[in-house]
Structure 1
Amino acid sequence: MKHTVQPPKAKKVLKTLSMHDDVRHDDYFWLNDRENQEVIEYLNAENEYYEVMTSKYKDFEHSLFNEMKARIKEDDESVPYKYNGYWYIVKYETGKDYPIYVRKKDTLDHPEELLFDCNVMAQGHDYFKLVGLSVSPDNTMIAFGIDTVGRRNYTLQIKSLLTDEMYLDAIPNTTGSATWANDNKTLFYTVKDEKTLRSDKVFKHKLGSASTNDLLVFVEDDDTFGVAVYKSKSKKYLIIACYSTLTNEYHILNANTPDGEFSVFQERIRGLEYSISHYDDHFYIVTNADGAVNFKLMKTQENLTQFNHWTEVLPHRDDVLLEDIDIFKEFLVISERANGLNQIRIKRWDGSDDYYLPFDNETYTAFTTTNVEFDTNILRYGYNAMTTPSSSIDFNMVTKEKTILKEQEVLDPNFHKDNYESERIWATSTDGVKVPISMVYKKGMIKDGTNPVLLYAYGSYGHTIDPYFSSIRLSLLDRGFIYAIAHVRGGEYLGRRWYEGGKLLQKKNTFTDFIECSKYLIAEKYTSSKHLYALGGSAGGLLIGAVINEAPELYNGVIAAVPFVDVVTTMLDNTIPLTTGEYDEWGNPNDPAYYAYMKSYSPYDNVKKQAYPHILITTGLHDSQVQYWEPAKWAAKLRMNKTDDNVLLLKTNMNAGHGGASGRFEALREDAEEYAFLLDLENITV
């Protein structure tokens, strides 16, 4: 495909990087400076090129946006949940882009009380995000965090729910979340390091005092750990959580005595992962202790919390991953995963009942949701499938009756879930391991190799991409696309070992799994290389970058959203956000073995002289997770090396970060841009 418009070319400034007697040359290292006007000019030039190259289908892109937006109910509200005597609701109003938070006392018939109207608060900001709503035990105050940049760096404030006045000066550089002690006067919150954005300090604020007088309660000195602070569901304990990829440590304090000293629950032991939940006079512990790879459930008395006092409640199982628990007064609810599928198990504390919720699909997602009430027989959970819109369901754990509180409305008269089919198939990777693929398509699909397929994956941090419903995705399915999720190693779809088989010195399994899934879809005639497309974001963008270096011939086009592609350089820079906390995921390149392995797959370091598919790369100038310069450098290097005439586009959102645009419908514009890119490559323009 010949283009008359010439793409921008970033200037080359040679930078030599040496480590372990190895030398790398980086011509685009200079892009690592957002204060440099020349950098901004280059990003703007790429954006202008993007606009020119996509101008031919802009009208189609706008119609896609309107089509996606039209399926979503604008005048909508969440299912209410009750907490401490109040019903809490999130509402959306027609024509408005941000949520409105309200509550009602005692009953849903009670007059509505406005907490926040984010539409008003967002005025004058290109980006706006409200997080961490935390109501005081006496229901008179609320703490909250605001980000107006997109860098996930929140300013914390407290508001009176009686007068709407602010209680303290704004506190910058926080995680946005805070936790009240039971005295309604003391608030604990977490602060981030200004440069690395690592959450490393816990402070205590006394209502009525200046925030400058806040007391430092805890400091996390290990730069591979982050910290958080919260309250147990039983409301008895304040808990400081110290976390890294492989290790946990908790500190506890009675919430009635906020001026006391936190005590360590169980000292950190490298490789010991655990989480704690309080019930009655015991703590319940989900842990990998004693080699429980898929985790097991243990308990201990609340005054004897060290590991040697823990006793087993639910044993480890090789074929079932224990993901989480929800504790109620009469019931223990266990979230599990077996053969990739979600399971919800309900067990009475007295042992008189023990059963699973029934699910009969292979491409569904089920999960417990907002269960903040302790003394209740009602479990709230969510369910959806690739062909079925999401539902919020209340399940009576005594009578076993379920009430569907809300089903996602798809405002499209032509939408009927029976018009679509889903299935799960299994590809074989290079080492013989079977890799599952969940897919959905419109009924009547014929396997003749001509179907366009969008294959998506993530494959890192043990984060599982479950098969889920998307009304946005209908814009692809209705135009003949198959949408598929490759459940590659690096996620936890098939248990903890599935994660461990795709990290550190086995990271390449993630990429080979994806490549073999792609080959399988072609071999089975779901599609062909002329009609196969790949999509991944963040660490999934790393996947895309690695895959197109190794097997570019398999794809007609790819989308890499906010991609982590300059692995070696980033992991050697401990001054930027996330790096030190990621060593247990990717390895520490200060170790020669990890350095060499990272370099062997790092997308930026392995760009070569070869033909690449059509490529769309997106990023955000204020991204805190993957710095903008990684995709910018990658795009520049790809331009200089690719031997094809395929289109390469880099789009930088100059007003947002890792999550993209903040408005409810503004984010749809980015989806429309990506879909228009794919559909244009298929010559589908209506």
Structure 2
Amino acid sequence: MTDHLVPAAPHPPLHAAETLLAPRPEPRPVQRILFGDAAELPFRWLRSIRTAEVRQHLAAENAHTDRATSALAPLRARLAETLADEVPQELSVPVLLDGWWYIDRTHPLDGVTFSRVRDCEAVRGPAGVPVPVPGQLLPGESVLVEDCRRVLGIALSPDHRLLARAEAAAAGCRLVVTDTETGVVVDDSVHGAGPDAVFSADSTALLHTRLDDLGRRAEVRRHVLGSDPSTDPVLLEEPDHWSELTLSRSRDGSALMIRSTSPVAAEVWTLDLAAPTATPVQVTDRLAGSSTVVEHAGDRLLLLHADPVTHRCVLAEAPLGPGTLPEGATPLLHAQEGESFESVEAFAGFVALQLRVGALPAVRVIPRRADGSLDVGAVRQIVTDGPLDAVRLEHTPDWDQRTVRCRVDSFLTPPTMIGVELDGGAQHVLQRVEVPGLDASRYVEKRLWATSPDRTRVPISLIARADVVADGTAPVLLHGHGVFGQSLDPLLQPEVLALADRGVVVAVAHVRGGGELGPQWHRDGRRQRRTHSVDDFVACADHLVASGWAAPDRIGAVGSGAGALVVGAAVNRAPELFRAVLAETPLVDPLETMLAAEVMLTLEEWTEFGDPAEDETAYRTLRACSPAENIRETEYPAVFALTALEGTDYPPSGAAIWVARLRERVTSDPAERPILLRVADSLEDGDDLRVEGGAWLLEQLGVADLA
């Protein structure tokens, strides 16, 4: 069987009234009985997607979608032009380390290179940082790696004499160690490694991770340069096949940090880089969850963890050496209501704290006293101008630096790197992506708050044209996700601005199950609390209507992957709230997908949803939320499901079953509110699907003019 759709049988000429007749797969009812619950599954046979009859049905769905959307070709073309103007998201500013500026260059004139130059007045730009010019080396700049396209990681020796690069290969990385002055290869004997490597303090050995047969970083090994790698000793082994090891060097250069993480647990060790033959020192027990963070602060350890009573995040400190963190740690700072701590980075003179405040990323700086202790009474936040600015720490390796680097994004802020001086607080723009024609004054971005049925306040991010009046007439695109603790933070995207230009209000519902308000926000929307996410999405749509930002019959709901489960369940709950639904590679038949033996799910998915085959609570929660199994016999919004045979996280059969069951039960006029399915061969066609789905949704909302 080939992995593409065979054409459907030729269609006879169609009369106008027949052009919207959709494929109607034959119901072949089977019954699922589990935990005393009986469910009729008339279209389970569509799960056999490699059979000829299912492939022919999917091809018929594509042919029907072609006919139903043929008039949208001009709109698709105009939308494709808008999407072609994607804003580059990568920022790269030289970083200073021990008197060297290290530079990542990515440009058609330069290729993808890694270079360095000695710090001196001649190479510094207006903000004291070199400004590389494409196609032109700075005075004294030398290229260390000429082509980084296959390089997954780079490590420098403490004396800056050696560079190790991890090159992607078939069975893991090949570690290539070169002399930074001559470019001569010193050692390239290690294969099957992970991308993270750290030199010992004397630069004679390389600590690295080793991949197992599953491609998992399962071991930490020590390789003496020039020796036979088959004799490399194993310093640490992680037997849990769900967990993976990662390495990093403490910013002061004294210690190797070893972390084991999985969706359900975390564990940390340290190793003195001056004694690389020693056994790593365990500093935490295996901690439930993966949100605990340990940072080496030179003379002490810093810890982020959840308070067992309040469940709020705590910044704590502990002495160096073996311990049983967090039990032996001293609390320093507690997150307040609406805050969550995410990471911490230590420097000689201060500590930078990455957190979320009001559902947005933010950065705070805590000075260190002369004895290294943290002056938590002098903490201050990096302040920017936009109401929806997402501020994130940028990695900088220099232990003694006095500047904090942050990236800033919003719906109206192009990707921007700023440097904030600790002494005086002056801010400098180090790099900003140029967006031709952007006039931010033409738009507004806002934070709204909806109230869920249990009185939980749910944040909404919104952007609209500045002259759009909240009078209940505007069309709205409402995005939702609410799974896996992932956050949908504001980001400048040309297609969003193009929609706003045409009077469309674009909103994101930050429902429970996502990560916008921290780990507890995620926990409150997963497993048996999955219905909270659905409640929140419906509440956000209601709030947009009640506050005048949305016309009640012109809301388009958008969800992708597992987020489509939330959107689809919300539509079952309140179909009258939505005019159209766009579901991209959707998980909309979750119970059958989780129960299917042939579907390879990850521990993250089992953790998120539970095991419905063994856990009755997990079964009944998914049963109640499943979009495909709870369709009501009433009018529904128009629906367009887009998926692919290959490259998706979830099989396309779920989307096909959902569409078939919608057509079987809903009472809407199929000409006014069509139910469509598009199945591409591969997600390599993702841009085409994105254009097609967007054009269809705009047409359904009455916004067909993108000229």
* Interval containing the TM-score (normalised by the shorter chain): 0.7 to 0.9
Partner of 2:493: 470
The answer to which structure, 1 or 2, has the higher relative contact order (CA under 8 A, 6+ apart) is: 1
Equivalent residue for 1:286, pick from 292, 301, 304 = 304
Contact 2:645–2:682, Cα closer than 8 Å, also in 1: yes
**Aligned counterparts of 1:254 and 1:39: Cα–Cα separation in 2:** 59
Match of 2:464 in 1: 441
% identical aligned pairs: 23
Residues 336-357 of structure 1: CA distance to partner in whole angstroms, max 9, x if unpaired? 3333344422121105753222
Match of 1:650 in 2: 677
* Residue 202 (1) aligns with residue 219 (2): yes
Change (3 A) 1:377 1:597: same
Alignment partners' CA distance in 2, 1:338 and 1:597: 30
- TM-fit CA distance, 1:421: 1.1
Q: CA deviation at 1:600?
A: 0.9
2:538 pairs with 506, 515, 519, which one? 515
In structure 2, C-alpha distance between the alignment counterparts of 1:102 and 1:673, rounded to whole Å: 39
CA drift of 1:27 comes to 4.7
Contact 1:240 1:252 in 2 (8 A): yes
Cα deviation 1:46-71 (Å, max 9, x = unaligned): 44544444332233323322233346
Counterparts of 2:511 and 2:337, CA distance in 1: 19
Displacement of 1:393 in angstroms is: 0.3
Aligned counterpart for 1:113 among listed residues 127, 137, 143: 143
Deviations along 1:58-108, one digit per CA (max 9) or x if unpaired, are: 33323322233346479x9733334674523252439x9xx8344334365
Runs of 4+ in structure 1 over 6 Å off:
163-166, 207-217
How far does the alpha carbon of each residue in 1:284-303 deviate from its partner, in whole angstroms, 9 at most, with x for none? Answer: 11011443522111122221
3-state SS of 1:473 partner: helix
* Equivalent of 2:320 in 283, 302, 314: 302
Q: 1:612 aligns with which of 636, 654, 667?
A: 636
| 1:583-594 mapped onto 2 (5 Å cutoff) | 583-589=606-612, 590-594=614-618
- Structure 2: distance between partners of 1:88 and 1:438: 35
Contact 2:283 2:321 in 1 (8 A): no
Residue number in structure 2 paired with 1:370: 395
2:411 to 378, 383, 386: 386
Question: CA, structure 1 residues 20+237, in 2 after alignment: closer, same or farther (shift >3 Å)?
Answer: farther
Superposed, 1:628-647 pairs within 5 Å as 628-644=652-668, 645=670, 646-647=673-674
Change (3 A) 1:54 1:141: farther
Root-mean-square deviation (CA, aligned residues, Å) is: 3.8
Residue 114 of structure 1 deviates from its aligned partner by 7.6
SS at match of 1:178: strand
Change (3 A) 1:230 1:515: same
Q: 1:256-271, aligned counterparts within 5 Å?
A: 260-270=278-288
What is the CA–CA distance in structure 2 between the aligned matches of 1:479 and 1:332, rounded to whole Å? 45
Verify the 8 A CA contact 1:131 1:146 in the aligned structure 2: no
Distance, in Å, in 2 between the alignment partners of 1:47 and 1:163 is: 56
Match of 1:104 among 116, 121, 132: 116
Cα deviation for residue 13 of structure 1 reads 5.9
Checking the alignment, whether the CA contact within 8 Å between 1:73 and 1:411 is kept in structure 2 is no
Contact 1:179 1:229 in 2 (8 A): no
After superposition, the Cα gap between the structure-2 partners of 1:386 and 1:348, relative to the gap in structure 1 and judged at 3 Å, is: same
For 1:202, give the aligned amino acid.
Answer: E
Alpha-carbon distance between aligned partners in 2 of 1:215 and 1:11, rounded to the nearest angstrom: 61
The residue type paired with residue 368 of structure 1 is L
For residue 70 of structure 2, give the secondary structure of its aligned residue in structure 1: helix
Work out the CA distance in 1 between the residues paired with 2:476 and 2:489. Answer: 18
Q: Contact (CA 8 Å) 1:102, 1:115: kept in 2 or not?
A: yes
- Say whether residues 1:504 and 2:549 are aligned partners: no
The counterpart of 2:93, out of the listed 75, 79, 83, is: 79
Shift of 1:258: 5.2
1:77/1:289 CA distance change after superposition, 3 Å? closer
Q: In the TM superposition, what are the counterparts of 1:234-633 in structure 2 within 5 Å? A: 234=251, 235-245=253-263, 247-255=265-273, 260-270=278-288, 273-307=291-325, 308-350=327-369, 353-359=378-384, 361-412=386-437, 415-572=438-595, 576-589=599-612, 590-623=614-647, 625-633=649-657
Query: Aligned partner of 1:557: which letter?
Result: A
* Distance in 2 separating the partners of 1:37 and 1:131: 42
Q: 1:535 to 1:92 in 2, by over 3 A?
A: farther
Q: Deviations over 1:183-232 (max 9, x none)?
A: 565453364775xx8x4733648577898988776665556x43231213
Quickly say closer, same or farther: Cα 1:41–1:368, change in 2 above 3 A. Answer: farther
SS at match of 1:303: coil
Alpha-carbon distance change, 3 to 521 in structure 1, aligned in 2, over 3 angstroms:
farther
Q: Partner letter of residue 427 of structure 2?
A: K
Contact 2:87/2:493, CA 8 A, preserved across alignment: no
1:388 partner SS: coil
- Higher Cα radius of gyration: 2
TM-score normalised per structure 1: 0.83
TM-score, normalised to structure 2, is 0.80
Cα 1:453/1:265, change in 2 over 3 Å: same
In the TM superposition, residue 486 of structure 1 has moved relative to its aligned partner by: 1.5
- Number of residues paired by the alignment? 649
Q: Say if 1:292 and 1:316, in contact at 8 Å, map to a contact too.
A: no
Unmatched tracts of structure 2, length 5 or more: 1-15, 120-129, 131-137
**1:125 aligned partner:** none
Structure 1 stretches of 5 or more lacking a match? Answer: 122-129, 148-153
Contact 1:77 1:92 in 2 (8 A): no
CA contact (8 A) 1:64 1:672 kept: yes
- Equivalent position amino acid for 2:650 in 1: V
Counterpart secondary structure, 2:312? coil
Question: Who is 1:150 aligned against?
Answer: none
The one-letter code of the counterpart of 2:365 is I
In the TM superposition, 1:1-20 aligns within 5 A as 4=19, 6-8=21-23, 16-20=31-35
Residue 3 (structure 2) aligns with: none
Give the 3-state SS of the residue equivalent to 1:654 in structure 2.
strand
AA in 1 matched with 2:681: M
Q: How far, CA to CA, are the matches of 2:54 and 2:258 in structure 1?
A: 41
Cα deviations by residue, 1:272-314 (Å, 9 ceiling, x for unpaired): 8521111213221101144352211112222132134322222
Checking the alignment, whether the CA contact within 8 Å between 1:454 and 1:484 is kept in structure 2 is: yes
